[in-house]
Amino acid sequence: MNSVFNFSAGPAMMPKAVLEQAQQELLNWQDQQTSVMEISHRSKLFMELVTQADKDFRQLYNIPDNYKILFLQGGARGQFSAIPMNLIGEKGKALYLNSGHWSATAAKEARLFCDVDELNILEDGDTLKIKSLDFTGIADQYDYVHYCPNETISGVEIFDVPEVGNTVLVADMSSTILSRQIDISKFGIIYAGAQKNLGPAGITIVIIREDLIGRARKATPSIWNYETQAKSDSMINTPPTFAWYLCSLVFKYLLKQGGVKAIEKVNQAKAKLLYDYLDQSDFYRNTVAKENRSLMNVTFTTGNDELNAKFVAEATACGLQALKGHKVLGGMRASIYNAMPIEGVKALIAFMQKFEQDNK
Ligand code: PMP
């Protein structure tokens, strides 16, 4: 079955072992003679699943006790609105660091709710490179500072954590969550749609420092209010139980692989193979500065739209799926999330070599 590799940016590939387990227990989960998606979210067995998922996720990502984990709906975009609704306070404004499409989209949405200052943190020029991340001189004017550590479309990753003094730091980690170790205590809120590294679409994880719960503006709808969600264990309405279940299996699977520390090593090895290949080639090019190259989304182009289209078509025919770059950027993008085995990257490189020889 692994002659096909799926490089989709999201919804993305899931670990095969997780899909097999889900398949195996689909009709009879925990001896209930029914599937997990057909039982009450408040049943004892489902509550046990939820408690264990919380525990496993905490262990995987080394989450301190003073943080709550919420499993919400509405995707990362839902959080683009929830964050200002919950965090805007006395200062009445937020700082958004713009490193590309998703951080800019988050800023645009926040403008519906509060004053936003937006700061371009990309250096001028053709190479995508992040400027200095020291905001200690200005951060205290804001209720929070928002950024996106991995821009999924351009493949720009920010490995250093912005310095914001005592101001709350908020991160959209949709395409980098669980890919490498991070110091959670530097963040006020981390959020991520599940459909890349956590599970299927339909569930959104929010890791929130407890003192930030209970600050929502009065007119915040209950489903977007972190306090009501935290008080009801993310079950103020019926949660996406099947997606939650699949995430719980992914957490267990990752723990079995050795946790994020081990996964990070594999991710570094996968990305290095691909970037090293790109660097020695004068046929393909990647325009991200070395220190900001994403471990998860590797973008490249031949510099010729027709050739790019041919590449994608021929790669697909060879079982290398979903390599077409996002429409706002063009070119190619290989998303190599946690579930992508190193064999997938090797197969891609072998194809790239052959394509280069045939089309030079
Ligand atoms: N932020 C980032 C970094 C993303 O990659 C995406 C989806 N590709 C989003 C936000 C939007 O996520 P959702 O579709 O879950 O709202």
What contacts 62, CB < 8 A, 6 or more positions away? 181, 184, 260
Average pLDDT, stretch 1-15?
Answer: 90
- Does residue 29 have an active-site annotation? no
User: How, if at all, do strands 320-321 and 5-6 pair?
Assistant: parallel
- The answer, yes or no, to whether residue 148 has pLDDT greater than 50, is yes
Where along the chain do its domains lie? 7-16+259-358, 17-257
42 is in an annotated binding site: yes
Domain 17-257 bears CATH identifier 3.40.640.10: yes
User: How far apart are alpha carbons 340 and 270 in whole angstroms?
Assistant: 9
152 is in an annotated binding site: yes
pLDDT tens per residue, range 180-191: 999 999 999 999
Of 54, 56, 68, 196, the catalytic one is 196
- E-strand stretches of 93-133: 93-98, 115-120
Q: Classify 127 as helix, strand or coil.
A: coil
Nearest ligand 1 atom to alpha carbon 9: 8
- Mutation choice for ligand 1 from 152, 189, 190, 191, CB with most ligand atoms inside 8 A: 152
- Mutation choice for ligand 1 from 73, 98, 174, CB with most ligand atoms inside 8 A: 174
Omega within 30 of 0 (cis) for the link into 341: no
- Quote the crossing angle between the two packed helices 305-317 and 342-359, to the nearest 10°: 130
Nearest ligand 1 atom to alpha carbon 153: 5
- Does residue 172 have an active-site annotation? yes
Could you tell me if 92 and 115 are in contact, meaning their C-beta atoms sit under 8 angstroms apart? Answer: yes
Is the beta carbon of 193 within 6 A of some atom in ligand 1? Answer: yes
217 is in an annotated binding site: no
Of 29, 68, 172, 270, the catalytic one is 172
Nearest ligand 1 atom to alpha carbon 193: 15
The complex's ipTM works out to 0.99
pLDDT tens per residue, range 90-130: 999 999 999 999 999 999 999 999 999 999 999 999 999 99
308 is in an annotated binding site: no
Report which DSSP code applies to 209.
Answer: E
pLDDT tens per residue, range 323-347: 999 998 999 999 999 999 999 999 9
Nearest ligand 1 atom to alpha carbon 204: 15
Is the beta carbon of 99 within 6 A of some atom in ligand 1? Answer: no
- The answer, yes or no, to whether residue 161 has pLDDT greater than 90, is yes
Comparing CA positions, the residue from 332, 288, 330 lying closest to residue 127 is 288
Helix (H) or strand (E) holding 283: none
Q: For position 3, what pLDDT does the model report? A: 78
Is the beta carbon of 202 within 6 A of some atom in ligand 1? Answer: no
pLDDT tens per residue, range 269-310: 999 999 999 999 999 999 999 999 999 999 999 999 999 999
User: How, if at all, do strands 144-147 and 93-98 pair?
Assistant: parallel
DSSP lists the bridge partners of residue 300 as 332
* Lookup: tokens for 325: 């770059």
Query: From ligand 1's centre to the CA of 266, what distance in Å?
Result: 24
347 is in an annotated binding site: no
Is the beta carbon of 118 within 6 A of some atom in ligand 1? Answer: no
Q: For position 1, what pLDDT does the model report? A: 47
The top-level CATH class assigned to 7-16+259-358 is alpha beta
Report which DSSP code applies to 42.
Answer: T
- Mutation choice for ligand 1 from 71, 80, 96, 102, CB with most ligand atoms inside 8 A: 102
Could you tell me if 182 and 157 are in contact, meaning their C-beta atoms sit under 8 angstroms apart? Answer: no
Q: What b/e sequence results for 16-37 when a residue is b if at least 16 CB atoms lie within 10 Å of its CB, and e otherwise?
A: eebeeebeebeeebeeeeebbe
Could you tell me if 307 and 284 are in contact, meaning their C-beta atoms sit under 8 angstroms apart? Answer: no
User: How far apart are alpha carbons 77 and 80 in whole angstroms?
Assistant: 5
User: How far apart are alpha carbons 181 and 257 in whole angstroms?
Assistant: 14
289 is in an annotated binding site: no
Is the beta carbon of 175 within 6 A of some atom in ligand 1? Answer: yes
- Does residue 270 have an active-site annotation? no
Q: For position 2, what pLDDT does the model report? A: 53
Tokens 């408040």 sit on residue: 42
pLDDT tens per residue, range 81-92: 999 999 999 999
